[in-house]
């Protein structure tokens, strides 16, 4: 998705702007641009289709300015071209605007502006914004009022930053798209996401919908849309800038797979005590969920698969639960009462479909909870409660460590719910297994043979992933990851469903990958045998290689663990399988085609 950056300081900030844009490139983009205030009445704009390196080549060290805005564009309205790249300007070039999101009424606004004599250079919805600001300036408004009034004409979702004339000020606002201010010692930054400026400052202010921000070298001012001054709290982000870099790894995805032992340690740190079987989630008082009657999970993609895993964890404890694809939630019209807990599972906390589902649940009277990785994200702020998964920044488009941390935190949440509702607590074996999980993942990472299996089968026609119960959700996730980064066809099936249709697709060219260690492993073994009987090469993921001697061509071994955690370990093997297959095929692993890290449009 598009990324916004702005930088306000007193020395030349063009390199910082370019660097911050590179830090945002994980979000996915097809064009990029910058505008800086440089003493002239018109900000200087440089933009192009292509990469941030192409933009740097165009700038060629010839651009200077201490105040500027920048953008990476992921095309929605109009193809990736130089003209459609942001920033967009008004007729006389005095106003430059960058925007994330979608302006829904852009067609009618454009008609009105064209009728009034404005000339448009792009096909984007964004371009109406500088022309609207220009209109209000011409009517005699001061820059801030012109910005306010222009934004007042918009409907849709947006985060906007603007430069107006030779003013050393950035004007910004948001509605439904994230925007965060970074407060440095001598500079300020504004971005769609913290990693953009994390190497310059870790002190942040999260903007809320409907707030207006003005930043100049002297300071910043946050107001409500009707002009009331706000006193926002400055939070410190505890992400390490090192963590946000690739280090010695070829790809962020691989780095993040290998960070899982650390991420899992963080997820459980201070929350479980295997000695006393105590569970303490600092976010909630004990008994906070005593009245919860049922749980509905909403999420998209990988987070939806974690949500499906969460359903089993609740059901295992006698808690009624269901998972919905967030985009289907409103039309599914699930029954909601004030005792229903609706949990938004969202790494970024900014996924538009998930936010909409949570808002729908809130309107219907449910209690809402965000299970998220990002402190201060929209989901965390809008929900009644938030449970942080503490995975650290995830840059690769393919979600990896956040899935594992989500599942572990869903387990903690399910256990908290059960205890608050007076149901039996799980035996101490579970917390002992949780405590041992990070080391188990480390062992798996040290010993995996996923690469050689990936190399052997990377030319196959299709890949089928099967499992039951929690291992079915992992099979779905394994298939999603595989297709996402290898571009090869992959599907996940409930093992029992194989014989009800998909078996027709199974041939010697379609490896079947079975996730075994969940409930009913014997039946999954049978399903693998059925696939093998049709000539499919079989890969079994299990802690007990001998048990699959007769059905598997290859085994990806995982350490033995608690039944409820087996899926997490199996999934790490599947992540590695996808990664190595994609690497074999030379795919752009961290930025798969057509995909974006944070999907902030419906």
Distance of alpha carbon 268 from alpha carbon 249, whole angstroms: 26
Q: Give min distance, CB of 601 to ligand F6R, in A.
A: 11
HEC states along 268-316?
Answer: HCCCEECCCCEECCCCCCCCCCCCCCEEEEEECHHHHHHHHHHHHHHHC
Compute the least distance from the CB of residue 523 to ligand F6R, in Å.
28
Q: Catalytic pick from 2, 90, 314, 409?
A: 2
CB of 568 to ligand F6R, least distance (A): 16
Our answer to whether residue 48 is catalytic in this structure is no
Q: Which is nearer to ligand F6R, 347 or 571 (CB)?
A: 347
Do residues 415 and 421 make contact, with C-beta atoms less than 8 angstroms apart? no
C-alpha 344/C-alpha 297 separation (Å) is 6
Q: Please give the helix or strand (H or E) that residue 478 lies within, else none.
A: helix 470-486
Give, in degrees to the nearest 5, the angle at Cα 68 between 66 and 73: 150
> Which residue lies nearer to ligand F6R by CB, 167 or 382?
382
Which residues contact residue 293 at a Cβ distance below 8 angstroms, ignoring those fewer than 6 apart? 320, 337, 339, 340
Q: Residue 507: phi, psi to the nearest 5?
A: -145, 175
- Least CB distance to ligand F6R at residue 373 (A): 8
Length of the chain: 602
Q: Least Å distance between CB 122 and ligand F6R?
A: 27
Nearer to ligand F6R, 181 or 599 (CB): 599
Binding site for ligand F6R (CB under 6 A): 300-303, 346-348, 351, 354, 398-399, 484, 598-599
Of 170, 197, 399, 416, nearest to 300 (Cα)? Answer: 399
Bridge partners (DSSP) listed for residue 68: 7, 36
| Side-chain half-sphere exposure of 77, counting CA atoms within 13 A | 18
Q: Which two tokens stand for residue 208?
A: 């809320």
Which of 194/536 has CB closer to ligand F6R? 194
In angstroms, what is the minimal distance from the CB of 346 to ligand F6R?
Answer: 3
Interaxial angle between packed helices 106-115 and 128-138, expressed in degrees from 0 to 180 and rounded to the nearest 10: 50
What the block records as the tokens of 233 is 């709290």
CB of 595 to ligand F6R, least distance (A): 8
Using the minimum distance from each CB to ligand F6R, give the nearer residue, 222 or 399: 399
Catalytic residue list contains 2: yes
- SS (HEC) of 316-372: CCCCCEEEEEHHHHHHHCCCCCCCEEEEEEECCCCCHHHHHHHHHHHHCCCEEEEEE
Instruction: For ligand F6R, give the closer residue by CB, 24 or 85.
Output: 24
363: which 2 tokens?
Answer: 């309107």
Q: How far is the CB of 448 from ligand F6R (least distance, A)?
A: 20
Query: For ligand F6R, which is the closer residue by CB, 213 or 476?
Result: 476
User: In the 3-class helix/strand/coil scheme, how is 406-472 assigned residue by residue?
Assistant: HHHHHHHHHHHHHHHCCCCCCCHHHHHHHHHHHHHHHHHHHHCCHHHHHHHHCCCCEEEEEECCHHH
DSSP 201-225: --EEEE--TTEEEEEETTEEEEEET
Which residue's CB atom is positioned nearest to ligand F6R? 301
Q: In what order do the strands lie in the sheet with 489-494?
A: 489-494, 462-467, 512-515, 538-542, 554-557
Token match 């606002």: residue?
173
Query: Per the residue annotation, which of 401, 483, 591, 597 is the catalytic one?
Result: 597
- Which is nearer to ligand F6R, 19 or 573 (by Cβ)? 573
Q: Closest distance between ligand F6R and the C-beta of residue 271, in Å?
A: 21
Tell me which residues are annotated as active site.
2, 597
């Amino acid at each position: 998705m598009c990324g916004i950056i702005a930088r306000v300081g007193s020395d030349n900030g063009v390199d910082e702007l370019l660097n911050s844009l590179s830090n945002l490139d994980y979000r996915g983009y097809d064009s990029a641009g910058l505008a800086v205030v440089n003493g002239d009445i018109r900000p200087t704009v440089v933009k192009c289709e292509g990469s941030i390196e192409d933009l740097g080549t165009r700038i060629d060290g010839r651009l200077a300015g201490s105040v500027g805005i920048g953008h990476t564009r992921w095309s929605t309205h109009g193809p990736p071209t130089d003209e459609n790249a942001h920033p967009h300007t008004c007729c006389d070039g005095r106003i430059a605007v960058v925007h994330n999101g979608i302006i829904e009424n852009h067609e009618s606004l454009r008609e009105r502006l064209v009728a009034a004599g404005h000339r448009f250079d792009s096909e984007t919805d964004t371009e109406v914004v500088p022309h609207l600001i220009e209109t209000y300036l011409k009517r005699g408004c001061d820059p801030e009022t012109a910005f306010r009034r222009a934004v007042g004409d918009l409907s849709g979702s947006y985060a906007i930053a603007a430069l107006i004339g030779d003013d050393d000020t950035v004007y910004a606002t948001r509605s439904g798209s994230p925007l965060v201010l970074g407060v440095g010692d001598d500079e300020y930054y504004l971005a769609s996401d913290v990693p953009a400026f994390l190497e310059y400052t870790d002190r942040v202010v999260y903007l809320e919908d409907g707030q207006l921000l003005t930043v100049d070298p002297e300071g910043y001012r946050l107001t409500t849309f009707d002009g009331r001054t706000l006193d926002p709290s400055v939070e410190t982000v505890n992400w390490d800038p090192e963590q946000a870099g690739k280090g010695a790894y070829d790809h962020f995805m691989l780095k993040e797979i290998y960070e899982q032992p650390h991420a899992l340690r963080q997820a459980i740190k201070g929350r479980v005590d295997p000695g006393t079987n105590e569970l303490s989630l600092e976010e909630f008082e004990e008994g906070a969920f005593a009245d919860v009657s049922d749980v509905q999970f909403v999420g998209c993609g990988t987070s939806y698969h974690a949500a499906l895993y969460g359903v089993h964890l609740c059901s295992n404890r006698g808690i009624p639960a269901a998972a919905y694809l967030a985009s289907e939630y409103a039309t599914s019209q699930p029954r909601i009462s004030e005792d229903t807990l609706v949990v938004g599972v969202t790494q970024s906390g900014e996924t538009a479909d998930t936010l909409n589902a949570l808002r729908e649940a809130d309107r219907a009277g449910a209690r809402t909870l965000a299970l998220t990785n990002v402190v201060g994200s929209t989901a965390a702020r809008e929900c009644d409660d938030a449970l942080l998964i503490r995975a650290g920044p995830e840059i690769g488009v393919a979600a990896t460590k956040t899935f594992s941390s989500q599942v572990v935190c869903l387990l903690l949440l399910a256990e908290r719910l059960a205890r608050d509702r007076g149901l039996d607590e799980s035996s101490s074996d579970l917390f002992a297994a949780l405590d041992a999980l990070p080391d188990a993942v480390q062992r798996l990472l040290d010993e995996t043979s996923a690469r050689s299996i990936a190399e052997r089968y990377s030319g196959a026609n299709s890949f089928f992933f099967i499992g039951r119960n929690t291992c079915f959700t992992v099979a779905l996730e394994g298939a999603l990851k595989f297709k996402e980064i290898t571009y090869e066809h992959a599907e996940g099936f409930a093992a029992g469903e194989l014989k009800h249709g998909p078996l027709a697709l199974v041939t010697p060219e379609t490896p079947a990958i079975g996730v075994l260690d969940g409930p009913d492993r014997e039946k999954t073994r049978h399903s693998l045998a059925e696939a093998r009987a049709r000539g499919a090469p079989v890969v079994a993921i299990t802690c007990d290689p001998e048990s699959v001697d007769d059905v598997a061509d290859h085994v990806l071994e995982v350490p033995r663990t608690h039944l409820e955690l087996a899926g997490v370990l199996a999934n790490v093997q599947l992540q590695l399988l996808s990664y190595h297959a994609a690497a074999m095929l030379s795919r752009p692993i961290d930025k798969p085609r057509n995909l974006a890290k944070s999907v902030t449009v419906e």
